[in-house]
Structures are given as C-alpha cells and as structure tokens.
Chains A and B, each alone.
Chain A
Amino acid sequence: MLTKLLKRRFLVPLVVVLVAAVVLTGCNSTAATTPAVPTGSAPVTALSGSIKIIGSNTVTPLTSVWAEDFMKANPKVSIAVSGPGSGVGIAALIDGTTDICQSSRLITAKEIDTAKGKGVNPYEIKVASDALAVVVHPSNPVSELTIAQLSAIYTTQITNWKEVGGRDAPIVALARDTSSGTHAFFKEHVVQMVELPTKNTKLEYGGKVLLLPSTTGGVSEVAKNPNAIFYPGMGYITSAVKSLGIKKTATDIAVLPSVKTALDGTYPISRLLLFYTNGAPNGVIKAFVDYCLSLEGQKKVTEVGYVPLAR
C-alpha cells in the first residue's frame, strides 16, 4: 500500500515531464512554416503542397472562395486563410510565418525597409479592386453628393442633412476604424481629396465620426438609422440601404457604383486589393496566384462582390 501511495505522488510530475519532453522535441520538427519558395518546377502532374495566407479581413472572403475552388481542383494542395488585418499580414510576411499576405492597402516604405532588413523581398501582385459605395437609409431624400461635400461631412464641417439638400436632421457619419485599409484609403482619397485641386493633407476625420470595426455592422446601422451615412465596399450593399451617386466635382455627372463604372474608372472611389509574397512566387504558390488572375478566378471576384482587374 505504501509503494502505491508513493507511485501516485510521482505520477503527475512524471506525466508533466514526459509531456514537456515530447513537446520540446517535437518543437523543432514541423513548427517551421513551408518555405515561400518550394522546390520543384511547374508540375505537370498533380499539384501538392500547402500555402498559408494571412492578412486583410476585406480580402478574406475573396481569397476563401479562390482557395476553396483551387483545392477542389487540386486535392493534394492545402490552403489556410486567416485575417485579421493588412498590417498583421505584412508583419507575418516579414516574420516568415506566412506565404502570401493579402492586403487592402499598399505596403509602406517603412515596411519594405524592415522586410529587406530581415531578408524578405516583398513582391506585389494586384488581384482585384474594390469600389467603395456611399450608402444612406432608403428614406433619405439625398441621392448624390460631391467628393468635397463628403469630405466636409466626414470632417464634421457639415453636420446637418439640410446643408446638402436633405431633411433638417443631424448627420450620423459612420466610418471604418483604423484597423482597416478602407479607413486609410477613404481618408486619403475622399477626406483629403488627394486627386482634386482642393487637396488638403491636414484634414482628419472629425471627432464625432463613429469608427466601426465591422463593415456589416455599419451597413446594418445605416439600415436602421434614417440619418446615417457609411462607405462599405460594393459587395456589402444590401437592399435595405441606398447607394448614392458620387460626383467628382459639382459639374460632373453623378455615378452610381457598379462593376462597370469601377472598371472604366468613371466611379471615383475605388481601390486595389493585393497579394504580397517573398520574392516572385513559384511552385504551388505561383499556380494558385495564376488561378486567381485567370479568367475563371476573376469571374469569382464579381460573385463575391468585388471588382475584377481590368483586362
């Protein structure tokens, strides 16, 4: 009986030590990620390998659909797609923990420097673009705005709908938060009007603008709130909200967002969605990227709600 008691006392520490040993020895084997440049030339037979994709939440729905289709066509390939942000994706590319970074903004010069310092060469691939629609509640009488007016609304210089031809009611301006590439893009291209002669890089989002973490949340708030305004990507528009026509200046015609107007450039607010890899991709990663850029892959882009690349 005494030996049994002693054995029990040693059991727990023994188990812990064993588990720790297993963990630490296994630690070095499969923990390293697949290299960004797998060996082997372009395969003629079945493709195999694994790809990690990390980055923007905006691009995630698109990449997920591409990954699913590619894996169906090539069952030996496994692709893992995650968010949660363009910045996180670029950091992962620099750390070497991802193969592809999906991004809704351009990589900054500082990030390129940090990458080069760690031996990583960011290689940019445009994969799609995204038109930002400006939406309001369907009961809102306003149906078009100029970029200058939008800028004034989002810097809280215009605070009442009657100043832009609507009801006498306060404007509830909704925006995405700083975690989103959309926030930065809208700020540069609309708030600061970078493409117009009235460009002013000192302008900021107003203090009363609501910065939201989720695009779908913003859209549902607009659907409920007769005084709200928001700028979701085109794919997020539902029948519960109304898109506004946007004019570059007061003398232009107002253009509604659509795949056609985004492609031919008449819709003024549209941005690029990109992939970044470490050096030019080859092997199974190149095959995947080729698929995304192919006719078939680009057809999926419209299905998800984004804008394919111009051909």
Chain B
Amino acid sequence: MKQKASTAVVAPVSSEKSLRRRLRLGERIVEGWIFLAGTLAIVVLLGIITILLKEGLPIFAHTSPLEFLFGATWYPISDPPTFGILPFFVSTLMITLIATAVAIPIGVGCAAFLAEVASAKIRETTKPVIELLSGFPSVMMGFIGLALLSPLVQTMFNLNTGLCGLTASIMLSLMSLPIIVSVSEDALHAVPQEFKEASYALGATKWETIWYVCIPAALSGIAAAIMLGVGRAIGETMTVLMVAGGALAVPVSPTDPMMPMTAAIASGIGNAVRGDLKYQALFAIGVILFLMTLTVNLVADRVLERQKRKFAR
C-alpha cells in the first residue's frame, strides 16, 4: 500500500492525463455549442434585417425616400398609388412617447418598491401577477381598450370618439409595464449587498441608498428593461390596430384618431399582393421602424456608457 501511494504522488498516472484531455475535449464541445447558439441568434437577426431590406428597399425606386418619409398621402390601391408615411410616423412617435413617459417612471418606481421596500412575500406574489399581464393576448387588450377604456377617454376629454392615440398609449404602457417592472426588479435585486451596506454605514437613509446607489448600480439592467419595454410598445400590432382609430390624416393631438406604423403594416398586409408596390412599401415601413428603434437604443446606450464609467463593476 505504501508503494501505491508514492507512485500516485510522484508522477502523473496515465489515467489522470487522459482525464484532463477528456475534460478539455468535453469543455471544447460545450463551448462549440455555445458558439453555435450565439451564431444562431445572430443568423436570426440577420435574417429579419435581410427580409426587411430585400422586400422593402425596392419601393425607393418608385418613391424617393424623402417623399416616402415626409409625404402625407397614403393611397396604395389608387391609380397612381402614392406612398407617404408621415401620418404613420407622427402617430408612432406620439403614441410611443406618451406610453414611455407613463411606463418608465411607474415601472422603475414599482421595481424599486418591490426590490427594496416590499417584503419578500409581497415581492414573490406581486411579480408573477404583474408578469401575467405580458401574457394577456394582444387581441384581448384591444378588446378591453375598445370596450372599457375608449368610452372613458371619450367622456373625459369630450371627444367625438374614444378610439384615439391616447387610448392606444395607455394600453401600450400597460403592456410594456410588466417587462420594465420585472427586468428592472431583477437588476435591482442583483445589486450586491456590500454596496448597500457601505451606503448605510455612511449614514444614508434607505431611500437615499436606493436613489444614489442601487439605481445607478443597476442602471445597465434597468436600461435593458426600458429598451425591451419600449420595443414591445413600438412593435405591438393588434392592440393599436383596434384602438388607435386608424385615421389616415396626420394627427395633430394625441386625442386624434391615428394609425401608427405597425397598424399600417398589419392592416395592409392582409390584402397586399406579394411583391407588388404596396407590399414593398409596407416592408419599407418596417425598415424605417427598425432604424428608428436602433437610433433610440444607440443614443440610450451612449448615455449609459457615461453613467457606467462612474460605477465600473
């Protein structure tokens, strides 16, 4: 027995060498799968961008980009057809701005409450309830907007009809709230205890800790939450189709009936002949929408970089 022990300690036995080799091989295989997954995600991304460009760009041979973006007349089935998307563009801007202005403070505030102020029991029961709303079918939200919210808006603001941008904004903020709340709450929850303890040790109150330490530390996660939530609001199709009103004139106020870009695409696609001008124009709207969200996200990311530098983790 003494002999066995000494050989085990003195020189690496062949079984140990092959174990290390097998571990490295296994590790490499798993890393291969990880690389594959990353590539797949990128491929899907490229696929979407490609289809948008391939089907959408040809319209610019017919209508100049300036006329497309700033023209105010959208008559795709007329003779000759005109494709000006200014009404849709303005509608999307209005609806998204209002929805985000409402959803962000409420969402982040709720997340802060759940992460820091509420007890664990309240948190673990409230979070699933709020998340439930994100599973509510978009058609149903449209229904509720139609049946319950729009008469309310109509009487409150003394309008001709409650089917308007404001109703759509409210429904959209409801739909992006779960994302903003849940993902921000996770980000806040992930702030290391040491940060908070250091802050308390310096004499800060709980609120001061939340405002000056937790939120900035979780900023990257909160920003991702907001971008995903805003993305959901911008990309939502069925609900805005049902409650925003669908008027083709350029909206002047949020209480006007309006048609945002997603609704324009969805309502047009049902009858578009594949490959013809209207089909191309609808995809071009998709391209512009994609560029819009990309710009917003890039700007937000820039602002964040500056913040992150203060809190290198």
Interface residues of A (CB under 8 A from B): 2, 5-6, 9-10, 12-13, 16, 57, 84-88, 90-91, 94, 105, 108, 110-111, 114, 170, 172, 177-181, 184, 187, 201, 204-214, 217, 220-221, 224-225, 227-228
Q: Count chain B CB atoms within 10 A of each CB in A170, A172, A209, A213 and give the residue with the most.
A: A213
CA distance A153 to B4 in the complex (A): 101
Q: Closest Cβ of chain A: how far from B14's Cβ, in Å?
A: 14
Smallest CB gap from B32: residue in A: A13
Contact check, B30 vs A85: say whether CB atoms are below 8 A apart: no
Indicate if the CB atoms of B269 and A110 lie closer than 8 Å.
no
A210 to B256, CA, bound (A): 10
> Can you report 29 A-B residue pairs in the complex whose CB atoms are below 8 A from each other?
A6-B23, A13-B29, A57-B270, A84-B270, A88-B270, A90-B273, A91-B274, A105-B271, A110-B273, A172-B161, A177-B267, A178-B267, A178-B268, A179-B268, A179-B270, A181-B271, A184-B77, A207-B247, A208-B257, A210-B163, A210-B247, A211-B248, A213-B266, A217-B146, A220-B147, A221-B146, A221-B161, A221-B163, A228-B161
Q: Which of B22, B160, B269, B270 has the most CB of A within 10 A?
A: B270
Given A210-B161, A217-B242: A204 and B269 within 8 A (CB)?
no
Pair A13/B33 contact, Cβ less than 8 Å: yes
Q: Which residue of B lies closest to A228 (CB)?
A: B161
Per the bound structure, the CA–CA distance linking A19 and B76 in Å amounts to 45
Q: A87-B273, A91-B273, A204-B75 are in contact. Are A224 and B29 (CB under 8 A)?
A: no
B280 smallest CB distance to A (angstroms): 13
- A91 to B268: give the CA distance in the assembly, Å: 14
Q: Which residues of B contact A94 (CB under 8 A)?
A: 274
Report the Cα distance A12→B26, complex, angstroms.
Answer: 12
Q: How many A-B residue pairs have CB under 8 A?
A: 118
Does B221 reach chain A (CB closer than 8 Å)? no
With both beta carbons as reference points, the residue of chain A lying nearest to B78 in the complex is identified as A204
A87 touches B271 (CB 8 A): yes
Q: For the complex, what is the distance from the CA of A177 to the CA of B267, rounded to whole Å? A: 6
Question: Is the CB–CB distance between A210 and B19 below 8 Å?
Answer: no
Q: Do residues B30 and A9 form an inter-chain contact, with CB atoms below 8 A?
A: yes
Query: How far in angstroms is the closest Cβ of chain B from A127?
Result: 19
The chain B residue sitting closest to A12, CB to CB, is: B33
Known: A114-B275, A207-B247. A179 touches B163 (CB 8 A): no
Starting from the known contacts A6-B23, A225-B161, 15 additional A-B residue pairs (CB-CB under 8 Å) come to A13-B33, A16-B33, A85-B270, A86-B271, A87-B270, A94-B274, A108-B273, A110-B273, A177-B241, A207-B247, A209-B248, A211-B248, A213-B246, A217-B146, A228-B161
Q: Which of B223-276 contact A (CB under 8 A)?
A: 241-242, 245-250, 257, 259, 263, 266-276
Q: Of the candidates B23, B248, B250, B267, which one forms a contact with A205 in the assembled complex, judged by CB atoms under 8 Å apart? A: B248
What residues on B are CB-neighbors of A210 within 8 Å?
161, 163, 245-247, 257
Question: Within 8 Å of chain A (Cβ to Cβ): is B194?
Answer: no
Roughly how many angstroms separate A108 CA and B272 CA in the complex, as a whole number?
A: 11
Residues of B within 8 A of A108 (CB): 273
Say yes or no: B77 contacts A178, CB within 8 Å.
yes
| Partner among A9, A184, A201 whose Cβ is within 8 Å of the Cβ of B26 | A9
Asked whether, in the complex, the Cβ of B160 is within 8 Å of the Cβ of A172, the reply is yes
Task: Pick the contact of B249: A84, A88, A207, A213 (CB < 8 A).
Answer: A207
Bound-state Cα–Cα, A16 to B249, Å: 52
> Are B241 and A213 in contact, with the CB atoms below 8 A?
yes
Chain B residues lying within 8 Å of A179, measured Cβ to Cβ, are: 266-271
List of A residues within 8 angstroms of B248 by Cβ: 205, 207, 209, 211
Complex CA gap A105/B77 in Å reads 13
Provide the residues of chain B in CB contact with A224, threshold 8 Å: 151
Assembly CA distance A297 to B76 (angstroms):
37
Residue of A at shortest CB range from B238?
A213
Q: Which residues of B contact A228 (CB under 8 A)?
A: 161
Cα distance A2–B154 when bound, in Å?
A: 70
Please indicate the chain A residues that have their CB under 8 angstroms from the CB of B271 in the complex.
85-88, 105, 178-181, 184
- Please, which residue of chain A has its CB at the minimum distance from the CB of B161? A172
B 268-301 to A, binary, CB cutoff 8 A, 1 in contact else 0: 1111111110000000000000000000000000
Instruction: Give the complex CA separation of A209 and B249 in angstroms.
Output: 8
**CB under 8 Å from chain A, chain B span 37-78:** 75-78
Contact, CB under 8 Å: B249 / A208: yes
**What CA separation (Å) do A84 and B32 show in the bound complex?**
41
Q: Which residues of B contact A206 (CB under 8 A)?
A: 249
Which 5 A-B residue pairings sit nearest by Cβ, starting from the closest?
Answer: A85-B270, A207-B249, A179-B270, A211-B246, A87-B271
**Complex-state Cα separation, A206 to B77, whole angstroms:** 14
Contacts of B259 in A (CB 8 A): 211
Task: Assess whether B276 is in contact with A178, with CB atoms less than 8 Å apart.
Answer: no
A222 nearest CB across to chain B (Å): 10
Q: How far is the CA of A172 from the CA of B154 in the complex (A)?
A: 13
Most buried by A among B19, B30, B248, B259: B248
The distance from the CB of A224 to the nearest CB of chain B, in whole angstroms, is 6
Within 8 A of A (CB), among B131-166: 146-147, 151, 154, 160-161, 163
CB-CB under 8 A from A16, the residues of chain B are 33
- B87 and chain A: residue at smallest CB distance: A207
Which of chain B's residues have a CB closer than 8 A to the CB of A221? 146, 161, 163
| Contact A10/B26 with A210-B161, A211-B248 known, Cβ cut-off 8 Å | yes
Using known A-B contacts A6-B26, A12-B33, determine if residue A213 contacts B245 with beta carbons closer than 8 Å: no
B245/A110 in contact, CB under 8 A: no
Please, which residues of chain B bring their CB within 8 A of the CB of A184?
77, 271
A85–B269 CB distance below 8 A: yes
Determine the distance from Cα of A79 to Cα of B104 in the docked complex, in whole angstroms: 48
